[in-house]
């Protein structure tokens, strides 16, 4: 009986590990800058965007004071890379896309930053690739980034 129970547990563990790569999902096709803005969020509550007017998804852009001569994108990239699970996928002078993988199941969220150097502001969009709920993870990530960028 114990041998049979161990076999079932082992089989369940193998099944979970085999399914984990599916938690990453595929990269959405709406990433990037469209007409000078980041995409709005879908109807599901697993996304935030400073380009969205719906209060469930809306987040204010990050506005920074005067610069110290360092390009704002360098500061944004450094702050994003310091967040847990971050991997920068694309970076230009004004746009950054990073993927965040959760520690346990490897769920992937996409964070996008659009920098306006002249306005000293950063537009944000952060969304889960899979599922309906994100339990506030994307909003919390945006807040962490805001704190990092607004700290002296």
Q: Say what the pLDDT of residue 16 is.
A: 37
CATH number, domain with residue 89:
3.30.310.80
CB contact at 8 A, 99 and 112: no
Series of mean pLDDT values for 10-residue runs along the chain (152 residues):
54 37 67 92 94 92 84 96 96 97 86 96 96 92 96 81
CB contact at 8 A, 133 and 45: yes
Among the listed residues 2, 149, 129, the one whose alpha carbon sits nearest the alpha carbon of residue 61: 149
Q: Say what the pLDDT of residue 18 is.
A: 36
CB contact at 8 A, 11 and 19: no
Compute how many other C-beta atoms are within 10 angstroms of the C-beta atom of residue 38: 24
Which domain does 124 fall in, by range? 25-150
Domain presence at residue 17: no
Domain presence at residue 11: no
Number of domains in the chain: 1
Domain presence at residue 8: no
Using a cut of 0.75, tell me whether the model's pTM lies above it. Answer: yes
Domain presence at residue 19: no
Rg (alpha carbons) of the chain, rounded to whole number: 18
Q: Say what the pLDDT of residue 5 is.
A: 60
């Amino acid at each position: 009986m114990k041998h049979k129970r161990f076999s079932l547990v082992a089989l369940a563990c193998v099944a979970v590990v085999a399914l984990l790569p599916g938690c990453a999902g595929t990269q959405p096709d709406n990433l990037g800058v469209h007409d000078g803005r980041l995409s709005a969020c879908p109807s599901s509550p697993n996304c935030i965007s400073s380009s969205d007017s719906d209060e469930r998804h809306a987040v204010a852009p990050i506005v920074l004071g005067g610069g110290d001569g360092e390009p704002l994108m360098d500061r944004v990239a450094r702050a994003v890379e310091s967040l847990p699970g971050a991997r920068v996928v694309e970076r230009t002078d004004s746009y950054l896309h990073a993927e965040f993988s959760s520690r346990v199941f490897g769920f992937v969220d996409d964070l996008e930053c659009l920098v306006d150097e002249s306005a000293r502001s950063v537009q944000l969009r952060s969304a889960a690739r899979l599922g309906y709920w994100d339990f506030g993870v994307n909003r919390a990530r945006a807040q962490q980034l805001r704190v990092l960028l607004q700290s002296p």
